[in-house]
Structure 1
Amino acid sequence: MKPVLHIVRLMVTADPWAMARGAALSILVIAMGAALLGLSGWFITATGLAGIAGIGIAFDVFRPSAGVRFLALGRAAARYGERLLTHDATLRALAALRVVLLRGYARGDARDLMRLRGEGALTRIVSDVDALDGLILRLVLPLLAALLTHLMVFLTLGWLVGWSVAGVILAGYVPAAAVILLILARRSIRPSSEAEDAGQHLRRGVIDMMRDRDALILAAQLPRKEDRLQGLDAQARAASSRLDRAERDAGFAVSVLVAVVAMGAFVAGAALLNSGEVGAANAIIGLFVALALAEAVLPLRRGVSDLGRMVGAAGRVVPEIAGEALPIPDAPVTDGPLLSLNRGGLQLTLHAGQAVVVTAASGAGKSTLLMQIAGLGDDQGIEIMGTRPSLWPEAALRDVLTVLPQRSGLIAGSVRDNLSLGGALSDDALWSALDTVVLADDIRARGGLEATLGEGGAGLSGGQARRLALARTLLKNPQILLLDEPTEGLDTDTADRVLTRVRLALPDTLIIAAMHRGADHPIFDRTVGLSG
Structure 2
Amino acid sequence: MTSMKRVLKLCLGSARGAMVQGGALTVLVLLAGVGLLALSGWFITAAAAAGLAGAGLAFEVFRPSAGVRALALGRTGARYGERLLTHDATLKALVAVRLRLLRGLMSQPLRRLERARAGAALNRLIADVDALDGVTLRLFLPAVAGALTLLVSVIGLAVLVSGTVALWIGAVYGIGALGIGLRFGPQALPVARRAERALQAVRARTNDAFAARADLTVYNALDRQIAHAGHAATELAKARAHRDGIERAAQFWVTATVQLAVAGALGLGFMAVTNGALSAPLAMTGVLAALALSEALMPLARGISEFGRIADSARRVMGDIPETVPELHPRHDAKPMVVPPLDLRSVAIRPLIDTLSLTVEAGEMALLAGPSGVGKTTVLNVIAGLLPPDRGKVCIGGTPLTDHAEEDLRGRLGFVPQRTTVMDGTLMDSLRLGNATLTEAEAWHLLDIVQMAGFAKSRDGLQTRLGSRGNALSGGERRRVALARAIAGRPPVLLMDEPTEGLDEATATAVLKGIRAYLPKSAILIASHRACDRVLATRVITLR
TM-score normalised by L of structure 1:
0.92
Aligned residue in 2 for 1:17 = 17
1:118-517 superposed matches below 5 A: 118-274=118-274, 276-327=276-327, 330=331, 331-334=333-336, 338=340, 339-342=342-345, 343-344=347-348, 345-378=355-388, 381-385=393-397, 389=401, 392-421=404-433, 422-446=435-459, 448-517=461-530
Gaps of 5+ in 2: 349-354
Distance 2:31 2:400 in 1: 57
Of all paired residues, the percent bearing the same amino acid is 41
Higher mean Cα deviation, 107-116 or 469-478?
Answer: 107-116
The answer as to whether partners of 1:335 and 1:386 remain within 8 angstroms in 2 is: no
Name the CA distance, whole Å, in 2 between partners of 1:182 and 1:435: 67
Query: Residue 51 and residue 520 in structure 1: after superposition, are their counterparts in 2 closer, same or farther (change >3 A)?
Result: closer
Amino acid paired to 2:344: L
CA distance in 1, matches of 2:476, 2:535: 22
8 A Cα contact 1:107 1:376, kept in partner? no
Deviations for 1:461-507, whole angstroms, at most 9, x for unmatched residues?
A: 32122112211211111112121211111223322232222112101
Partner residue of 2:537 out of 503, 524, 529: 524
The CA RMSD over aligned residues, in Å, is 2.5
Partner letter of residue 509 of structure 1?
A: S
Name the residue aligned to 2:351.
none
Bigger mean CA deviation after superposition, 171-180 or 457-466: 457-466
Write the distance in 2 (CA, Å) between the matches of 1:294 and 1:386. 71
Structure 1 pair 183–403 and aligned structure 2 pair: CA distance change class (3 A) = same
Report the secondary structure of 1:353's partner residue: coil
- Measured after TM superposition, the shift of residue 274 of structure 1 is 4.8
Change in CA separation of 1:79 and 1:220 when aligned onto 2, cut-off 3 Å: same
Matched residue type, 2:488: L
Q: Distance in 2 between matches of 1:367 and 1:156?
A: 72
Deviation of residue 337 (structure 1)? 7.5
CA offset digits 1:417-451 (Å, max 9, x no partner): 33233325333312221222233334334454344
CA shift digits 1:398-419 (9 cap, x unpaired): 2222211222222444433332
1:284 CA displacement: 2.4
Q: What amino acid is aligned across from residue 105 of structure 1 in structure 2? A: L
Residues of 1 paired with 2:117 and 2:222: CA distance? Answer: 26
User: Is the Cα contact below 8 Å between 1:356 and 1:524 reproduced in 2?
Assistant: yes
**Pair 1:273–1:221, CA change in 2 (3 A):** same
Distance 2:160 2:375 in 1: 76
Q: Could you give the per-residue CA deviations for residues 49-74 of structure 1, whole angstroms, max 9, x where no partner exists?
A: 11122212111111111111111111
CA contact (8 A) 1:333 1:386 kept: no
Distance 1:316 1:335, change over 3 A: closer
| Cα distance, 1:511–1:142 mapped onto 2, change above 3 Å | same
- Structure 1 window deviating more from structure 2 (287-296 vs 182-191): it is 182-191
- Deviates most, 110-119 or 458-467: 110-119
AA paired with 1:370? Answer: L
Q: Which moved more, 1:464-473 or 1:374-383?
A: 374-383
> AA paired with 1:475?
A
Whole-Å separation in 1 of the counterparts to 2:419 and 2:369: 18
In 1, are the aligned partners of 2:336 and 2:404 still within 8 Å (CA)?
Answer: no
User: SS of the residue aligned with 1:513?
Assistant: strand
What secondary structure sits across from 1:482 in the alignment? strand
Report deviation, 1:35. 0.9
SS in 1 for 2:132: helix
Query: In 2 relative to 1, CA 140–530 (structure 1 residues): closer, same or farther, beyond 3 Å?
Result: farther
How far off is 1:357 after superposition? Answer: 2.4
User: What secondary structure does 2:366 align onto?
Assistant: strand
Q: 1:374 is matched by which residue type in structure 2?
A: A
Size of the alignment, in residue pairs? 531
CA change 1:265–1:453 in 2 (3 A) is same
* CA–CA separation in structure 2 for the residues paired with 1:386 and 1:249: 69
C-alpha displacement of 1:391: 5.5
SS at 2:320's partner residue? Answer: helix
| Cα shift readout 1:156-201 (whole Å, capped 9, x = no counterpart) | 2222123222221111111221111222212222222212221221
Q: Which moved more, 1:203-212 or 1:381-390?
A: 381-390
Distance 1:361-1:74 versus aligned 2 partners, 3 A rule: farther
- In the TM superposition, residue 248 of structure 1 has moved relative to its aligned partner by 0.5
With over 3 angstroms needed to count, the CA separation of the structure-2 counterparts of 1:327 and 1:465, relative to structure 1, is closer
Say whether the 8 Å CA contact 1:104–1:324 is kept in structure 2.
no
Deviations along 1:289-335, whole A, 9 cap, x unmatched? 11111111111222221222222212211121113345578242247
Match of 1:371, as an amino acid?
N
Describe the SS at the equivalent of 1:306.
helix
Shift of 1:98: 0.6
Measured against aligned partners, the alpha-carbon deviations of 1:108-131 in whole angstroms (never above 9, x if no partner) come to 233344455733432354221122
Structure 1 residues 518, 324: CA separation in 2 closer, same or farther (over 3 Å shift)? farther
Does the 8 Å CA contact 2:509/2:533 hold for their aligned counterparts?
no
Return the offset for 1:356. 2.9
Q: How big is each residue's C-alpha offset from its partner over 1:244-301, in whole Å with a ceiling of 9 and x where there is no partner? A: 1111111111101101011222233344445544432222222111111111111122
Letter in 2 for 1:400: R
CA contact 1:247–1:301 (8 Å) conserved in 2: yes
Unaligned runs of 5+ in 1: none
Alpha-carbon distance in structure 2 between the residues aligned to 1:370 and 1:239:
46
Are the structure 2 counterparts of residues 181 and 336 from structure 1 closer, same or farther at C-alpha, using a change threshold of 3 Å? same
2-structure distance, mates of 1:341, 1:169: 75
Q: Take 1:333 and 1:411, find their aligned partners in 2: how far apart are those partners?
A: 34
C-alpha distance in 2, partners of 1:457/1:336?
A: 34
- For the structure 1 residues 17 and 374, does the alpha-carbon distance in structure 2 shift closer, same or farther, using more than 3 Å as the test? farther
Whole-Å Cα distance in 1 between the matches of residues 146 and 200 of structure 2? 33
- Length-normalised TM-score, structure 2: 0.90
1:16 Cα deviation after fit: 0.6
Range moving further from structure 2, 445-454 or 39-48: 445-454
Matches within 5 A, 1:48-67: 48-67=48-67
- Counterpart in 2 of 1:106? 106
Q: Would you say the 8 A contact 1:23–1:145 is kept in 2?
A: yes
- Deviation per residue, 1:366-425 (Å, 9 max, x gap): 334433433334367334446554554443222222211222222444433332333253
CA contact (8 A) 1:337 1:386 kept: no
More displaced 10-residue stretch of structure 1: 371-380 or 122-131 = 371-380
